[in-house]
Structure formats: structure tokens, C-alpha cells
Amino acid sequence: MIETERKFLVTSEDFKKQATEQKVFRQAYLNTDPQRTVRVRLTGDTGYLTIKGKSSNSGMSRYEWEKAIPAAEAEELLKICEPGMIEKTRFLVPVAGHTFEVDEFFGAHTGLIIAEIELKTEDEDFERPQWLGKEVTGDLRYYNSQLIKKPIKNQQDE
């Protein structure tokens, strides 16, 4: 199905006060080509295999296919992924009827915090909380599949 999302840098940790849920994600890629990324993700006792096509011209919309898989299978698949692992905590932050997914990265990407909001259409409006910074929708450097190859810090970009 086609997913429509916008992506922003996050300028403070204030979002944590509004978060209703948080989970640690470990993920790596079986393909990092932006035309057809294949991601293996492990969170708690569930794995996910996610395949995404290339982004629309706006960078907001992208074909996405996802299946939950047993954690043990995700562990096996992580072993054959391209080098590089992303580890991050994902916070769910409800804001005025939408839910931001805010990712705080660890390791090589420490300092980077990215918020994503899923929309029904590319022109759907939404409320912007104070901690929401510069929009980076469609900026390849902030694709997790590209971060694996080239770390980037929030600060460097401000």
C-alpha cells in the first residue's frame, strides 16, 4: 500500500513528556537502494520485514509492504544484512488527533532525533508542536537506509 509521511528534525526532548509509548528498535537492511529497500527490524519479541519502493516526487509517498515475523527469524535475517545496524528508541507522541513517531538514535547517530507523521493525503493539515524543527521529508540523507552508510547528527544540520 502507499504510505504518506512527512519527516522533521526535532529540536528538544520536550516530546518525551507527551509520549504514550516507547520501544527500542534494532534494524538493518537487505537492500539499501532507495528504489527498493528491504529492512529487517526487531523490537521486543516481534520482528518485521519491510519493503519500500521509491518515493514520489514530493518525497512524501512511498509504496510499503510489511509483515510481522518471529523474532528468532528476524535475528537470523539481521546476520545476513548489509553491514551497519541502526538502534533507536521510538516514542509515540499524540498531538491533536495525529501521532508522531519520534526516533531517538543511539550509537553512530547519537544526537539525531527525527519525527515522522503519517498522513492520509499529501495535503492533509496537522498541528506542529514546539519541538518540531526543520522538515526533511524526501531528503535521502535522513532515510534510515542511508544513515547506515553515512551517519549524520542533528546539530550538524541546524
Which DSSP helix (H) or strand (E) runs through 93? strand 86-95
Q: Which three cell numbers mark 21?
A: 509509548
Contact segment (CB under 8 A) with a copy of itself among 12-20, 26-34, 119-127, 137-145 equals 26-34
The catalytically annotated residue of 29, 63, 142, 143 is 29
48 is catalytic: no
- Compare residues 4 and 31 and give the one whose CB is closer to a copy of itself: 31
Instruction: Check the CA dihedral 125-135-118-2 and report its sign.
Output: positive
Question: 96: which residues sit within 8 A by CB, 6+ positions away?
Answer: 126, 127
Member of 5, 43, 49, 146 binding a copy of itself (CB under 8 A): 49
Site size toward a copy of itself, by CB under 8 A:
21
Q: Which of residues 64-83 bind a copy of itself (CB under 8 A)?
A: 65, 67, 69, 73, 76-77, 79-82
What's the rounded Cα separation, in Å, for the pair 94 and 21? Answer: 10
Active site residues: 29
